[in-house]
Amino acid sequence: MTDAADLRRRTAELLAAYPPSRLPPPPSTEDPAGPPPSSATTDRLDFLRARFDAGLAWVHYPEGLGGLGAPRSLQAVVDADLEAEGAPDNDPRRIGIGLGMAAPTILAYGTEEQKRRYLRPLWTGEEVWCQLFSEPGAGSDLAALGTRAVRQGDGDWVVNGQKVWTSSAHIARWAILIARTDPDVPKHRGITYFICDMTDPGVEVRPLRQVTGEAEFNEVFITDVRIPDSRRLGEIGDGWKVAQTTLNNERVAIGGMRLPREGGMIGPVARTWRERPELRTHDLHQRLLKLWVEAEAARLTAERLRQQLVAGQPGPEGAGMKLAFARLNQEISGLEVELRGEEGLLYDDWTMRRPELVDFVGRDAGYRYLRSKGNSIEGGTTEVLLNIVAERVLGLPGEPRTDKDVAWKDLAR
């Protein structure tokens, strides 16, 4: 069994082979290619590849797949030693869908060949991933999706359909995709899970401009796209089961982000309160105190959720954290607009942009207010997540479902 001492030894060996002082800074989101060549003799990507190959990427993964089969809790030992030496990271926010959703699903359901092909460039950030789940006619009711995958005589699948609200589709090389492969069975049973090459003919990505003016999301049109059966994850018709792994990890990724105290949306409001005494009122003070306490409780609960991950797979508790994250962001950003008065109604720039990341704290109050509206939709709507908490966490009776035993093709649409 690999222990902390062994991991420290392996980390020291990696640092000796790739001294951080010789590495150039990480690339920015505006220039993914990174800075021009410098005096460094080893570059950032070489370091990340070496770290993966040494089993220090995610230590709980199997050997040969970026890990050593060690307890997940020991990842913190590696991360602390690398951070202390100024080692570069893999820009986890930019590749969050790959790290938080695609990787655990591939690990759980992928073949050995799939794991070895996809996990290394996913972790190093060489290949960005997106998620082709939501559809215009099946958002909250994801299992009602209509994108079809039809198997051909040579074993390949031909996929046709439309996806929507797809983050990172404009920069992604790969996508995790669910499609209907059997319309003659109830909606949850006729779905299959695939890996889609976003560069294939027939994949068209269109920007989806939001109320903020930017186009962070996309529509993706899929027309006669051929997917080899070798890129199927799990068994035919088991896509809903496979997707649960992705969705559970997605909610944890959204609701369980690690933040310092006042590191989220509450930070800019608290700073404004301290620096602008002329804006203060008794009512705003009471509301700010309430939200500050709730934000801190949510931050600490997220930390507890991450500790639960150390012991096993994420459970439905992630849905609760995602609910809290969405509600708090909307209430805090609303308070900030009120606190700033007319100034809070100003907006910095409506120029259409295609950001790779959501910058909640780097923009102004108006941006935070508008962008937070999406928090109760993305990653599962509030209404769907309330049902999950009620049924899977609290054990309450499920809602009556009249379509449970009806073939998908016979459902009203």
User: Which residues are known catalytic residues?
Assistant: 250
- Per DSSP, 399 falls in state P
* Closest-CA residue to 332 (of 282, 277, 375): 375
* Closest-CA residue to 118 (of 190, 218, 196): 196
> Can you tell me the distance from the alpha carbon of 320 to that of 312, in angstroms, rounded to the nearest whole number?
18
SS (H, E, C) 235-255: CCCEHHHHHHHHHHHHHHHHH
- Per DSSP, 305 falls in state H
End-to-end CA gap in the chain: 54
> Can you tell me the distance from the alpha carbon of 327 to that of 320, in angstroms, rounded to the nearest whole number?
11
Contacts of 142 (CB under 8 A, 6+ apart): 133, 134, 178, 243
**How many Cβ atoms sit within 10 Å of the Cβ of residue 117?**
16
Q: What share of the chain is helix, strand, coil (3-state, %, to 5)?
A: 45, 15, 40
Name the E strands within 16-144: 129-132
